Structure 1
Amino acid sequence: MRHVTVTVTAPDLTPDAAYRRICDFGRYPELTDTVRNVVVHPPRADGSTVSEWTVSFRDGLMRWTERDVFHEQELTLSFEQLSGDFETFEGSWRCEAAGGGTLVTFEAAFDLGMPTLAAILDPVAESTLRSNVEWILRGLLGAVTAELAGAAHD
């Protein structure tokens, strides 16, 4: 399984404000051309939501439905694919105070489910995922500074 981490600092936002913006999935298509559509369904009885995503991937589209669990007190949210084009796709977002701003960390693990093509497709998917997250964060949070270039590993 491939793992991706993207960490940025938003110097002008509180952790609460950054978290609220990250949880607003419906705005993501406004922020980057690669996120084509996000449909967020009403909250379930347990407070989680289900969201449906359509994202550009190379010359096509990736689609999936995920369950999103919000941990407002901890300023984190986790997601797990319920169905879609990935074999496995899960991860989290975390916001924490950092020197007058907010440190935002996105972590994900994925498997495209194509072992014979993994050496070719996984690095492309990882790069696309990292780029999309960075563009979304710039759009949501304004000026951000990358803490790490983003890490990826199997």
Structure 2
Amino acid sequence: MHRGSHSEVIRGDARACFEVLLDFERYSAWQGAVRRCEVLERDAEGRGSLVETELDLKIRSARYVLRYHYDPPRRIWWEYVEGDLRSIDGEYRFEERGDGTTLATYEVGVDLGFPVPGRVARTVAERALRTAVAELRDRVERDGAPA
């Protein structure tokens, strides 16, 4: 399993970051690797609890289903249910800094289920982590929380 994390400061509050991530149906509009994202089940508050995603991994596509958990607006975490990968788990954490910005941290562990040389895996994982947080930052700073 390859694990990593990346943090960035986002101009916006934790609630805006949290709300953007709850809008699964629009992921493909602002996350470059996401081909499709569909909510299969919702919790009592209407948030996606079981979500299917299809990614373009460049070397191949991958489909997986994750179960999401929430601690609004500070944390969203997920666990692997099924799909083309062997495993994926992770979380987003949001820490408001008191100056109108939020420190967003994305942490993920992925086992693709097929061998990837260590150096290649680290390079791809680091790029994916940076890109995921940068795309969230750009989305929040450009549009704010979804209406």
Measured against the shorter chain, the TM-score band is: 0.7 to 0.9
**After the TM superposition, which residues 1-154 of structure 1 pair with which residues of structure 2 at under 5 Å, given as runs?**
1-11=1-11, 13-44=12-43, 49-72=49-72, 75-100=74-99, 101-114=101-114, 116-119=115-118, 122-123=121-122, 125-127=124-126, 129-142=128-141
TM-score (norm 2): 0.80
Question: Which deviations, in whole Å up to 9, do the C-alpha atoms of 1:79-100 show, x marking residues without a partner?
Answer: 1111112211000011111141
Give, as a single letter, the amino acid of the residue that structure 2 aligns with 1:110: V
Summarize the Cα distance change of 1:14–1:120 in structure 2 as closer, same or farther, 3 Å threshold: closer
CA offset at residue 59 of structure 1? 3.9
Give the aligned partner of residue 152 of structure 1. none
Give the aligned partner of residue 147 of structure 1. none
Summarize the Cα distance change of 1:79–1:123 in structure 2 as closer, same or farther, 3 Å threshold: same
Give the aligned partner of residue 150 of structure 1. none
Asked if structure 1 preserves the Cα contact closer than 8 Å seen for 2:64 and 2:81, the reply is: yes
Unaligned runs of 5+ in 2: 143-147
Q: Distance in 1 between matches of 2:81 and 2:126?
A: 23
Summarize the Cα distance change of 1:48–1:57 in structure 2 as closer, same or farther, 3 Å threshold: closer
Give, as a single letter, the amino acid of the residue that structure 2 aligns with 1:97: E
SS at match of 1:113: coil
Give, as a single letter, the amino acid of the residue that structure 1 aligns with 2:77: S
Could you say what the CA RMSD is over the residues aligned between the two structures, in angstroms? 2.4
CA offset at residue 119 of structure 1? 3.0
CA offset at residue 43 of structure 1? 1.3
Q: Distance in 1 between matches of 2:48 and 2:32?
A: 27
TM-score (norm 1): 0.77
SS at match of 1:21: helix
Asked if structure 1 preserves the Cα contact closer than 8 Å seen for 2:20 and 2:140, the reply is: yes
Summarize the Cα distance change of 1:36–1:131 in structure 2 as closer, same or farther, 3 Å threshold: farther
Asked if structure 2 preserves the Cα contact closer than 8 Å seen for 1:39 and 1:51, the reply is: yes
Question: Size of the alignment, in residue pairs?
Answer: 140
Unaligned runs of 5+ in 1: 144-154
Summarize the Cα distance change of 1:34–1:48 in structure 2 as closer, same or farther, 3 Å threshold: closer
